[in-house]
Chains A and B, each alone.
Chain A
Amino acid sequence: MLNKIYDWVDERLDITPIWRDIADHEVPEHVNPAHHFSAFVYCFGGLTFFITVIQILSGMFLTMYYVPDIENAWESVYYLQNEVAFGEIVRGMHHWGASLVIVMMFLHTLRVFFTGSYKKPRELNWMVGVLIFAVMLGLGFTGYLLPWDMKALFATKVGIEIAASVPFVGGIIKTLLAGDETIIGAQTLTRFFAIHVFFLPAALFALLAAHFIMIRRQGISGPL
Chain B
Amino acid sequence: MSNNKVSRRQFLSYTLTGVGGFMAAGMLMPMVRFAVDPVLQKKEGGDFVLTEKKIADITEVPERVDFTFEQVDAWYKSDITNAAWVYKEGDEIIALSPVCKHLGCTVNWEADPAHKNQFFCPCHAGRYEKNGKNVPKTPPLGPLDQYEVRENDGFLEIGKAIPNTLV
Contact = CB atoms under 8 A, between A and B. Distances in A.
B27 A54 contact: yes
A181 interface: no
A61 B30 CA distance: 10
A87 B34 contact: yes
Contacts of A90: 30-31, 34
B35 A83 contact: no
Contacts of A64: 34-35
Interface residues of B, number: 12
B129 to A, nearest CB: 42
Contacts of B28: 57
A113 interface: no
Interface string A49-87: 000001001100100110000001001101110011111
B47 interface: no
A79 B27 CA distance: 21
Interface of A: 54, 57-58, 61, 64-65, 72, 75-76, 78-80, 83-87, 89-90, 93
B70 to A, nearest CB: 16
Contacts of B33: 85-86
The B contact surface, by secondary structure, is helix
Interface of B: 27-28, 30-31, 33-35, 37, 40, 74-76
A89 B35 CA distance: 12
A61 B35 contact: yes
A79 B31 contact: no
B54 to A, nearest CB: 39
A21 to B, nearest CB: 19
Contact of A72 (B34, B40, B76): B76
A85 B37 contact: yes
A151 B12 CA distance: 48
A89 B30 contact: yes
A85 B34 contact: yes
B76 A75 contact: yes
A83 B74 contact: yes
Contact of A57 (B27, B37, B40, B76): B27
A79 B35 contact: no
The 7 residue pairs across chains A and B that have the minimum distance between CB atoms: A75-B75, A86-B30, A79-B75, A89-B30, A86-B34, A61-B31, A90-B34
